[in-house]
Amino acid sequence: MNTYLNALGVICNLGAGKSAVAEALFAGNDTGIRAQAGWVPTHTPPLGGVRISLPPIPAELADRRTNRNNQLLLAAAQEIESDIRAAISRYGHGRIGVVLGTSTTGIEEATQGIGAYRRDGQWPADYRYAHQELGAPAEFLAEWLQLAGPCYSISTACTSGARALLSAQRLLRLGLCDAVVCGGVDTLCRLAINGFHALEAVDLQRCDPFSIHRRGINIGEAAVVFLMTREQAAVQLLGGGASSDAYHMSSPDPQGTGARKAMLDALRNAKLDAAQIDYINLHGTATEHNDSMESLAVASTFAHSVPCSSTKSLTGHTLAAAGALEAAFCWLSLTDGHAERRLPPHVWDGEADPALPMLNFTHIGDHLPVEGRRFLMSNSFAFGGNNACLIFGDPA
């Protein structure tokens, strides 16, 4: 049973909405990564924060649901609200599900409330425990849209957004839903930023995926909302693969065994050969171990020199939203209104690590093949050896 990504709403540090994000993405605009004070006590790390005003939470939900995570999610969802409302009219509220990937939810606001309690001995008036619940973003979206289908969040660290799309596809294939609002959302929060800083995994300059000088990640924030149905559209979710190698709590299997299995499972699920893939959006965190294992996994899976790039030097690592955001970048390539469908460039210092297999990194202006169906892959890897891979393409 075929499934399609019919509509996309997106907001990240590159811009608000598909047009703004695409313009910055294909131009390789890395100015959205900026030093921001106040997040880490001892340093001022560059972050991929969204710097525009966000929409207020609707009045009927404002008391319970107001936090930055939900506001960012609402901004993305409003871009495709008309598509969602049309699906509601067609299928009914009970036949539309919501599946989102998240990890930070409203933890920033919850942490501030806990700090106030420790300082003052009482909870602030605006503290809501529900802000920190992982299911809260999906529940908020379902409440706002008055949906009654399956509703849940997935939190598998940095694969959450990708797994949300796989889960949405499963709901459609099982006949439990006729449409699913799916994607991912995470916002900047001190807990995550300081946690990565404590692991010495944060670069204090713009990150350099796959460079010999790579020093770690930049952290960003994003919200991505797709409407997925069985109705044919310009972008088809052809399949995906997932694995869990459980090599280490925070480090990947250095040989990339689990990552390679996820890619091979995705190819098998999509009924494609490796040689048919036209582009890979790499997980590419710019950490020593991730880039090493991913380059090994890609080089051993793809005999041809497949174009690929990591977009995290443009957006930062958006954590649970990353898999959905990079799926959105594949969507933007496949639907690009440019004369030739452009590919996200690999923005880095250009100094490859000679210890790693050399990959075919894209440049500004590179594009998909002009003829035939095009197939794009997106990789996401997470703590605990949790791996996910998605494949998108033109409809048959």
From the list 12, 151, 158, 177, the catalytic residue is 158
From the list 197, 283, 346, 367, the catalytic residue is 283
The b-or-e profile of 178-214 (16+ CB within 10 A means b, else e) is bbbbbbbbbbbbbebbeebbeeebbbeebbbbbbeeb
User: Taking the alpha carbons of 205, 332, 277, 360 in that order, is the dihedral positive or negative?
Assistant: negative
Please, how many CA atoms are within 13 Å of residue 34, restricted to the half-sphere of its CB? Answer: 11
SS3 329: helix
Q: Which residues contact 298 (CB under 8 A, 6 or more apart)?
A: 263, 280, 282, 306, 308, 357, 359
Is 158 considered catalytic here? yes
Distance CA(209)–CA(339), nearest Å, equals 29
Q: Return the CA Rg of the chain.
A: 20
From the list 131, 189, 197, 317, the catalytic residue is 317
Distance CA(392)–CA(273), nearest Å, equals 14
Helix crossing, 68-79 with 107-120: angle to 10°? 160
Is 197 considered catalytic here? no
Helix (H) or strand (E) holding 182: strand 179-186
Active-site residues, by number, are: 158, 283, 317
